[in-house]
Amino acid sequence: MKNSKNTVPTWRDTSDVYLRQILITGGCGFIGSHVVRLFVKQYPQYLIVNADKLTYAANPEYLKDIEDAPNYVFVKADVCDHQKMEEIFGTYAIDAVIHLAAESHVDRSITDPFAFARSNVMGTLTLLQTAKTFWKKENYANHTFYNISTDEVYGALDFEGTPFLETTPYDPRSPYSASKASADHFVRAFYHTYGMPVKLSNCSNNYGPCQYPEKLIPVIIHNIVHNKPLPIYGKGENIRDWLYVEDHAKAIDLVFHKGQTGETYNIGGNNEWQNIKLVQKLIEITDRLLGRPQGHSLPLITYVTDRPGHDLRYSIDTTKIATQLGWQAQMSFESGLEKTIRWYLELFGEE
Ligand SMILES: NC(=O)c1ccc[n+]([C@@H]2O[C@H](COP(=O)([O-])OP(=O)(O)OC[C@H]3O[C@@H](n4cnc5c(N)ncnc54)[C@H](O)[C@@H]3O)[C@@H](O)[C@H]2O)c1
């Protein structure tokens, strides 16, 4: 187990130095990398241990700017590997977990649901069991297991449906959302059964830099740049709520520090877009940034066979986190999209 400086700090070296030792899983992925960066920079008094299996979706380069920070350690590890999880808890005095590691792409869950059951369900259970083993000795005092989940567990809405509340019954409809719902159920089961201090949050679609280019926004930007067809499922009617990834990371910070144990918080951008309208917006900004005439890439729009079981609409009610914790999204969609597109233009420009 090494950090980037090839030293092996153990809890013996670090427990006097750091106020908290926090395990963040999936920290080399899209959202995880923003959460790790925020915690490493904002809380020099915390040791941040990032455990990531480094699947296709990960990129350690995302964290190049903080890899040498004294309060940061990276461990290549699969959260399903119980022995490895015990090794991490035994090496560092882990007192909190922020769990993001997961298989995250709905299309992949349709072709390989077992991979999702493994990482998302068994991985979460393995982490919970490890935390229980280490934390129950201290009666869970000052510990937190924070599970990062999705609005997709609540099912699908029609155009008029009222936004999801924290109390909306779970109704997952894809193998991905079923695996995330199952993980959430295990997290709550550990709270009720063993007294594990847990928190959960369910967030809508994130966008921003560092997302693996298989999801809608980076795929569309990539294909605009390369003048390739812009694939849109069905008629492009599906609606998603979009939140800038750094706003999600700030919400995670807030829930982690100020959220009530045993509670769930919905996080979203109050920013619903039909897929077709979103793609038109991406074309408008990307063409402008590329110096192309307005509407240049519109003919690239190509409707493709819909995803099986494609949920029509997700919408999230953020009243609880707004009123109880004072959170609200800060990034406007226009600025967030432009920032994101500029980031991808640099990335794709190097291809
Ligand atoms: N992307 C979104 O819009 C969104 C919205 C709400 C919630 N979430 C949730 O947030 C979390 C992160 O999502 P993301 O979009 O950053 O995903 P991502 O696919 O970009 O990154 C996932 C990370 O987890 C790691 N990982 C996967 N399986 C692992 C395993 N078995 N052991 C250790 N590491 C493993 C990967 O290597 C990768 O670095 C997930 O739990 C996801 O369900 C995502």
Q: How does pLDDT run across 109-125, given as a tens digit for each residue?
A: 999 999 999 999 999 99
**pLDDT mean over 165-189:** 98
| pLDDT of amino acid 15 | 64
User: What length is written for the chain?
Assistant: 351
- The closest alpha carbon to 49, from 29, 6, 20, belongs to 20
Mean pLDDT, rounded, of the chain: 95
Q: Which atom of ligand 1 is nearest to the CA of 215?
A: 1
Which of 203, 220, 207, 208 minimizes the C-alpha distance to 314?
A: 203
Q: Which two tokens stand for residue 97?
A: 């977990």
The dihedrals phi and psi of 73, each to the nearest 5 degrees, come to -135, 135
Does residue 83 have a pLDDT over 70? yes
CA distance linking residue 258 with residue 101, whole number of Å: 22
Question: Starting from the edge strand earliest in sequence, which strands make up the sheet with 96-99, in order?
Answer: 72-76, 46-52, 20-25, 96-99, 144-150, 198-203, 264-267
Ligand 1: centre distance to CA 213 (Å): 14
User: Which ligand 1 atom is nearest residue 31's CA?
Assistant: 16
Enumerate residues lining ligand 1, CB below 6 A.
Answer: 25-26, 28-32, 52-55, 57-58, 78-80, 100-104, 119, 123, 148, 150, 180, 203, 205-206, 212
Which pLDDT band holds residue 283 (cuts at 50, 70, 90)? very high
Q: Say what the pLDDT of residue 7 is.
A: 46
Residue 12 confidence (pLDDT) above 70: no
What's 11-207+245-272+315-331's CATH class? alpha beta
Structural domain boundaries in the chain: 11-207+245-272+315-331
Average pLDDT over residues 280-302: 97
Note the Cα 253 to chain centre separation in Å: 13
Q: Is the pLDDT of residue 42 over 90?
A: yes
Residue 219 to residue 146: CA distance in whole angstroms: 30
Better-scored residue on pLDDT, 11 or 158: 158
Bigger pLDDT: 14 vs 323: 323
Res. 98: pLDDT tops 60: yes
pLDDT category at 8 given cuts 50, 70, 90 is very low
Whether 131 has a pLDDT exceeding 50, the answer reads: yes
Residue 9 has pLDDT above 60, yes or no: no
**88 closest CA partner among 11, 7, 6, 183:** 11
Which pLDDT score, from 0 to 100, does residue 349 have?
Answer: 79
Residue 275: alpha-carbon gap to chain centroid: 20
Ligand 1 centre distance from Cα of residue 81 (Å) = 17
How far does CA 9 lie from the centroid of its chain?
28
Res. 347: pLDDT tops 70: yes
Average pLDDT over residues 221-247: 97
Q: How far is the CA of 176 from the centre of ligand 1 (A)?
A: 11
- Residue 170, token pair as written in the block: 């779970």
- Can you tell me the mean pLDDT for 149-160? 96
Average pLDDT over residues 76-90: 98
